């Protein structure tokens, strides 16, 4: 389930040594990169274990969370959201919101339906479409699971002060923005070895 990395990150002096062989290797950039991947992975693992203990994968959890929003349009309306703006309901909307392909979403909804967390109903207006909805069991699972999930996340971040959290987030956002800048040119930046 992890992104797969080295078990032990290379020590900084190893990076310095490697930089002698590869002039393109920026040791402090590589160090930050490796720690970012590693930390994201470890944090992911904790919540993933938590989810697996309840027999649910991250992907399936994401779908349930998206559907939870959809299933409470009245609450959303009360809270100030535009009345008509419900969350995603069709597999295509869910796939878009979750950032996976529709084919993947079909598989996720398959297993969620098999396990009784959601139902699939044909759309009366457009017979190509399906409408996915949380069942009572699905809602119950979230109600029962979420408090613990939030506690785990709070426990992980407990080690950082409010100031440190803000600082971390602002550094991460900077990296995200840089990735966004790089992405459109990926084809060019990538083809170094071709």
Partner DNA sequence: GCCAGACAGTTAGCCTCCTAATGAAATTCG
Partner DNA sequence: CGAATTTCATTAGGAGGCTAACTGTCTGGC
Is residue 30 a contact residue for its own copies (CB under 8 A)?
Answer: yes
Inter-residue contact 25 to 67 (CB < 8 Å) = no
Q: What angle do CA 12, 156, 42 make, to 5 degrees?
A: 50
Report, in Å, the least distance between residue 77 CB and its own copies: 13
Count of CB atoms within 10 A of residue 89's CB? 19
Each residue 53-72 as x (binds DNA by CB under 7 A) or -, in order, gives ----xxxx------------
Is residue 101 a contact residue for its own copies (CB under 8 A)?
Answer: no
Measured in whole angstroms, the distance separating CA 161 from the mean position of its chain's CA atoms is 24
Alpha helices, H only, the chain: 12-21, 27-53, 58-70, 73-78, 91-98, 102-114, 136-157, 162-182, 186-190
Is residue 168 a contact residue for its own copies (CB under 8 A)?
Answer: yes
Question: Which of 85/169 has CB closer to its own copies?
Answer: 169
Inter-residue contact 60 to 118 (CB < 8 Å) = no
CA distance 17 to 101: 42
**Residues 79-118 within binding reach of DNA (CB under 7 A):** 90-93, 99-111
**Residues 109-128 within binding reach of its own copies (CB under 8 A):** none
Which of 74, 84, 99, 114 touches its own copies by CB under 8 A? Answer: 99
**Residues 127-186 within binding reach of DNA (CB under 7 A):** 127-130
Question: Which of 111/135 has CB closer to DNA?
Answer: 111
Catalog residues that contact DNA under the rule CB under 7 A. Answer: 1-2, 4, 57-60, 90-93, 99-111, 120, 125-130
């Amino acid at each position: 389930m992890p992104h797969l990395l080295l078990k032990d990150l290379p020590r900084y002096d190893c990076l310095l040594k490697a930089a002698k062989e590869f002039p393109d290797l920026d040791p402090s950039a590589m160090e930050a990169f490796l720690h970012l991947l590693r930390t994201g992975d470890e944090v992911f693992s904790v919540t993933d274990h938590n989810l697996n203990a309840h027999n649910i994968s991250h992907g399936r959890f994401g779908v349930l969370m998206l559907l939870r929003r959809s299933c409470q349009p009245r609450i959303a309306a009360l809270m100030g959201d535009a009345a008509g703006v419900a969350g995603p309901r069709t597999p295509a909307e869910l796939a878009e919101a979750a950032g996976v392909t529709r084919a993947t979403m079909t598989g996720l909804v398959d297993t969620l339906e098999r396990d009784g967390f959601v139902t699939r109903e044909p759309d009366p207006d457009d017979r190509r479409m399906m409408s996915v909805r949380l069942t009572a069991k699905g809602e119950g699972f979230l109600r029962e699971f979420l408090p613990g999930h939030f506690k785990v996340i709070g426990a992980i971040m407990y080690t950082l002060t409010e100031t440190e959290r803000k600082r971390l987030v602002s550094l991460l956002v900077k990296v995200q923005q840089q990735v966004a800048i790089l992405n459109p040119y990926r084809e060019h930046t990538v083809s170094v070895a071709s």
